[in-house]
């Protein structure tokens, strides 16, 4: 994996970026497929991965504790959503990280509205009511 040179610098403070945000992605942008709420989790290979940029290390660390969303990664890493999307895609391609199927993409026999089934909504309703 060819990580951009600019991303290799010592970032010192946790999360704070000292280079242009998209330098850590090698200037690439990615908007498809990864929703703000899409969950990811670190795979075994990701736990022992070496030679990664601080940003990628941080992502694997966070996603190694529990499932975590793109939005949460963005908040914890203090990087824009778009940057996180690219880095997550990279880590997924390297099989360090698993992208979970989005709830809206789950096939279900029931009548659906954007992937949201009646039974799913019923569970959500009961869950909120019980809070």
Partner 1 sequence: MASQPSSETTAPTVVKIVVAGGFAVGKTTFIGSISDIDPLNTEAAMTEHSVGVDDAGGVTDRKTHTTVAMDFGRIALPGSLWLYLFGTPGQDRFLFMWDDLVRGAIGAVVLVDTERLDQCFPAIDYFEGRGIPFVVAVNCFDGVAHHKLEDVREALGISEGIPIMYTDARERTATKQALISVVQLAMERIKS
CB-wise, 93 or 100, nearer to partner 1? 100
- Rounded CA Rg of the chain: 17
Query: Contact, 93 vs 47, CB < 8 A?
Result: no
Pick from 7, 25, 38, 89 the residue near partner 1 by CB under 8 A. Answer: 38
Residue 34 token pair: 């990864």
Q: Which residues contact 46 (CB under 8 A, 6 or more apart)?
A: 60, 63, 64, 91, 94, 95, 96, 97
Query: Is residue 16 involved in binding partner 1 (CB under 8 A)?
Result: no
Q: Are 54 and 17 in contact (CB under 8 A)?
A: no
Residues with Cβ within 8 Å of 86's Cβ and at least 6 positions away in sequence, in order, are 25, 28, 29, 30
Binds partner 1 (CB under 8 A): choice among 3, 8, 11, 22: 22
Least separation in angstroms between residue 37's CB and partner 1 is 5
Q: Closest separation between CB of residue 114 and partner 1, Å? A: 5
- Using CB under 8 A as the binding rule, whether residue 30 contacts partner 1 is answered as no
Pattern 75-114, binding to partner 1, x per CB under 8 A? xx---xxxx--------------x-xxxxx-x----xxxx
The contact set with partner 1 (CB under 8 A) reads 21-22, 31, 35-39, 41-44, 47, 63-67, 69, 71-72, 74-76, 80-83, 98, 100-104, 106, 111-118, 120-131
């Amino acid at each position: 994996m060819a990580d951009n040179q600019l991303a290799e610098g010592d970032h010192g403070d946790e999360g704070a970026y000292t280079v242009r945000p998209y330098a850590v992605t090698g200037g690439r942008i990615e908007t498809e497929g990864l929703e703000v709420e899409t969950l990811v989790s670190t795979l075994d290979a990701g736990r022992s991965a070496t030679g990664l940029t601080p940003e990628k290390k941080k992502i694997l660390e966070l996603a190694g504790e529990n499932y975590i969303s793109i939005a949460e990664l963005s908040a914890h890493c203090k990087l824009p959503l778009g940057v996180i999307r690219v880095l997550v895609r990279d880590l997924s391609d390297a099989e360090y990280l698993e992208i979970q199927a989005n709830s809206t993409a789950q096939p279900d026999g029931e009548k659906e509205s954007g992937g949201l089934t009646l039974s799913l909504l019923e569970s959500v309703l009961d869950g909120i009511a019980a809070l």
